[in-house]
Structure 1
Amino acid sequence: MQRDELPLDVENALDAIEFEGMLMGRQMSPQNHPEHTVLSLDRSAYTLMSRIEIDGPLSIPQMTAAFALDASTLNRQTAAMMRKDLIRRIPDPDGGIARKFELTPHGLELLNGDRDIKRRGLRTILQEWSGDDVTTFAALLHRFNSDVERREGRPWPRPER
């Protein structure tokens, strides 16, 4: 067996992980959520606002580094979010030149509301799982995401628990 080749059972598992990951992304999208009409934020706003909530105010260059997106994309996204009063532009709290974005009270309220809806959905889906299965699933998702972040050189901060 060559170095890059994996045993057939591992190859089959990789196929299953790819397929199940695709389905998980689909299941977690707002359109497929049982309470989707209540969700307020699209995926990009939810992700960007979650990062600002953890890191605090961020500039476009900081977002570019964090998300590996070009500045023009982030400018469009932040402009749309500002129009909806989800974020606002502020002077750099550390005295830097670049202006930063922070969550508005309205944005934080919508972010927390959407997060609660998503958690309720997960709680419903996982209600028949054992506590050990739920914590194992969470630990494996964390491990997977951390490995991807390490490989890409862009670690994602985690909220304090």
Structure 2
Amino acid sequence: MVSGLINANPIIHKKKERRARTTPTFADDDVPEPIDQQEVFDHIRDIRDPEHPNSLEELRVITKDALEVDDQHSYVRVTFTPTLEYCAVPSLIGLCLRCVKLMRSLPSRYKVDIRVAPGSHVKEAEVNKKLNDKEMVAAALERPYLLEMVDECLAPSFG
């Protein structure tokens, strides 16, 4: 985790109940059941904050209501809210959401759009541009120290 915390005492919220997972089922024509908002939320809710041992759900950086899922058009938009408007790690949070967790869990036909909630960060436009530029994302993930930080945020937590 990142040292020198900017937000040393964030508000921690209780996690919500999980939906019972079922194995993907296929119709007669081998088309998988649609992906919905809850399923996407279940994939990202346990990502740990880079600065705290808490999940993005516990810190309310992500909420189910801030997800837009359009299965018919293969589109997912995740809007996240950093804990502070001058948070030092929104790009890292976005990388965890976009490049690793969602790319590993959603079918490749999906376009994923990651955004900082409007007005929630001083560098909102810059962060949004970085997180939705494929070349910038690929370049970021080639940096070993950054990839190590992403892996740390994605590691299972017990507690």
Between Structure 1 and Structure 2, the one with more strand by share is 2
Q: State which structure, 1 or 2, has the greater radius of gyration over its C-alpha atoms.
A: 1
> What TM-score does the superposition give when structure 1 sets the normalisation length?
0.24
> What TM-score does the superposition give when structure 2 sets the normalisation length?
0.24
